[in-house]
Structure 1
Amino acid sequence: MPNSLTKLLASNKKRPDRLPQSRIVASAAGDETAIYIYDAIVSDEETAYWCGGVSAEALVPEIRSIKSGTVRLRINSPGGDVFAAQAICQAIRDTGAKVIAHIDGYAASAATVIATAADEVEIADGGFYMIHNAWTWAIGNANDLTATAALLSKIDGSLAAQYAKKSGMAVDDVRAAMDAETWYTAEEAVAAGLVDRVAVGAKAEASWNMSAYARAPKAPDPAPDQVDPAATAEHRARQQQRISMLARLQVS
């Protein structure tokens, strides 16, 4: 059985509104650069090829090539690999540009980590910002599993410190919110200090399949006359094939 991150990647790989072709879109106009993270976050291009996602391997050099001006970091992501997100964070901190994060829809899990590295963060009306404890899976004996649990605890502590630094919240309060898998509305994220403002006039982009998470907001069901039973069955069969393939890749 694949873990929740594998499920997250598999269930969103073929979203019709994902950016075409390139998973990373950067354009320069004067002294401004726009970088779009409109996908799950993965570590390398091989994983991105097989599973979909924005890879740190491709994005970090792109960020590090920017030396000045303003970066518009546009985020609509269900999360992903926390170590890949941390590599992207460090590249953002090291650039000489002013970085403004725009949460255009969802910033969940590792995507919120990236947002904390920006100088300013704004969120679209109707957007969501989610923090939770780190995930993984492990195989081995009791010593192996104990070591994995200790590593997860360290990761959670590091994440809590980043959120606390951005928001001004007490670390213990952040840890409690992470324990609960907290989904902040746009207004709640601003009130918590995790986001600086709600974007004026902007509405949230299309949503993601967040069924991998325990407490994700539920998307409205389509009207009965809009559902094609044959298409739904075919979609489920394709998804199961992708999940099985991803499980084999993760074990190898």
Structure 2
Amino acid sequence: MKSWYTIRARASGTEVLIYDEIGAYGVSAKGFLAELGALPDDAAIDLRLNSPGGSVFDAVAIYNALKRHTGDITVWIDGIAASAASYIAMAGDTIIMPENAFLMIHDPSGLVMGTAEDMRSTAEALDKVKGSLIQGYATKSGTPDEEIAALMAAETWLDAKDALDLGFIDRIAEPVKLAASFDVARFRNAPPEVVEAASEPYEPAASEPEPEGVTDANTLPDPEHPAADAPSHDASELTMVDTATVRAEAIAHARAVIDLCRLAGQPQMAGRFLEEDVGLDEVRNRLLAAKAEATPDITAAHAQPGRAVPTQSWGDVIARTFKTKG
């Protein structure tokens, strides 16, 4: 599973890079929090952000962990800090943003399958999440809750000057080459320069040389594979992974899972399968098992009313769909 973050020791403290979609199709915040918790409580942290956001629950957990950290935290918005990433940025004691970078805030969103009651419950949960996010933005900026709520509802993209005027950042830095190698088309108000830059590969901003004897925690050698046989990967190489391909594959898998569950008459099971990252073979087997448990044993001794009509095996339908979608 690919990592969307890097935490490494530097001569003047610790550098944390979040240069991808937070938590999506990779590790959750659990690994991040474990590494962060292993740092000395008073360690100074430089947090560098270039992210379209991701899991809001992971972001809230990261924000809370950073706020508990007693050491000084400086946040650098290297390209964009959108959605959940903008909330993480608010944990900084000092937030610095280049002139041509962007910070975006919007309402949280989610996907739900189920009954009307399930959907009402999800809507209520999203309202509560928004309230929590508003408090974090307001604490940093001093902007009234009502104004922040309106900015979120409108999906507002702030350049450095706007962000400084509203109190979301503390200082403006010199412009940088704007690069954001991830999908921004899903955002309805993404600035043209961000959309244009989204197709370009990017590298983390240059920082001080790594001190001798310090090893990047994400590039520790695998004892089963000697270092001579395996290429090393620094943070810039990690961030140049074709995330669009990974995301497309994940979306295709999700659609196949949902289609199988619908055909099986068990649409409510799709969310569980996706949460558990179950493969299509396992999805099919578990749906067949669920169908077998739910289907009564009807034999010739229990004649059914009406004219007999030829039927198609439910298992054949699932197998054919699996073959098509898989």
Give TM-score, length-normalised by structure 2: 0.60
Task: Say which of 116, 127, 145 aligns to 1:153.
Answer: 127
Alpha-carbon offset, residue 26 of structure 1: 2.3
CA contact (8 A) 2:5 2:32 kept: yes
Give TM-score, length-normalised by structure 1: 0.76
What CA distance in whole angstroms lies between the structure 2 residues aligned with 1:24 and 1:75? Answer: 10
Alpha-carbon offset, residue 27 of structure 1: 2.4
Task: Say which of 28, 32, 36 aligns to 1:59.
Answer: 32
Per mean C-alpha deviation after superposition, the further-off stretch among 185-194 and 104-113 is 185-194
Alpha-carbon offset, residue 221 of structure 1: 9.1
Aligned to 1:89: 63
Aligned to 2:213: none
Q: State the structure with more CA Rg.
A: 2
Task: Name the SS of the counterpart of 1:75 in structure 2.
Answer: strand
Paired residues for 1:72-221 under 5 Å: 72-199=46-173, 201-207=174-180, 208-218=182-192, 219-220=195-196
Matched, 1:245 2:253: yes
Post-superposition CA distance 1:216-236 (Å, at most 9, x none): 1232399xxxxxxxxxxxx99
Give the % identical residues. 35
Post-superposition CA distance 1:87-134 (Å, at most 9, x none): 111211122211111100010000011111111111122111000000
Post-superposition CA distance 1:41-75 (Å, at most 9, x none): 11xxxxx5xx24x6311111111122213100000
Which protein has the bigger strand share?
1
What CA distance in whole angstroms lies between the structure 2 residues aligned with 1:173 and 1:161? Answer: 12
CA contact (8 A) 1:31 1:69 kept: no
Post-superposition CA distance 1:106-163 (Å, at most 9, x none): 1000001111111111112211100000010111222111111111111111111111
What CA distance in whole angstroms lies between the structure 2 residues aligned with 1:190 and 1:213? Answer: 22
Alpha-carbon offset, residue 205 of structure 1: 4.0
Matched, 1:34 2:42: no
Q: CA 1:27/1:237 → structure 2, altered by over 3 Å: closer, same or farther?
A: closer
What CA distance in whole angstroms lies between the structure 1 residues aligned with 2:120 and 2:185? Answer: 28
What CA distance in whole angstroms lies between the structure 1 residues aligned with 2:9 and 2:245? Answer: 41
Post-superposition CA distance 1:8-45 (Å, at most 9, x none): xxxxxxxxxxxxx7533222233410010001111xxx
Query: Where does structure 2 lack aligned partners over 5 or more consecutive residues?
Result: 199-242, 259-269, 274-326
What CA distance in whole angstroms lies between the structure 2 residues aligned with 1:127 and 1:161? Answer: 24
What CA distance in whole angstroms lies between the structure 2 residues aligned with 1:108 and 1:181? Answer: 10
Task: Name the SS of the counterpart of 2:14 in structure 1.
Answer: strand
Q: CA 1:236/1:177 → structure 2, altered by over 3 Å: closer, same or farther?
A: closer
RMSD over aligned Cα, in angstroms?
2.6
What CA distance in whole angstroms lies between the structure 2 residues aligned with 1:140 and 1:30? Answer: 52
Higher RCO (Cα < 8 Å, 6 or more apart): 1
Q: CA 1:245/1:167 → structure 2, altered by over 3 Å: closer, same or farther?
A: same
What CA distance in whole angstroms lies between the structure 1 residues aligned with 2:18 and 2:245? Answer: 28
What CA distance in whole angstroms lies between the structure 1 residues aligned with 2:197 and 2:93? Answer: 37
Count residues with an aligned counterpart.
212
CA contact (8 A) 1:129 1:189 kept: yes
CA contact (8 A) 2:179 2:197 kept: no
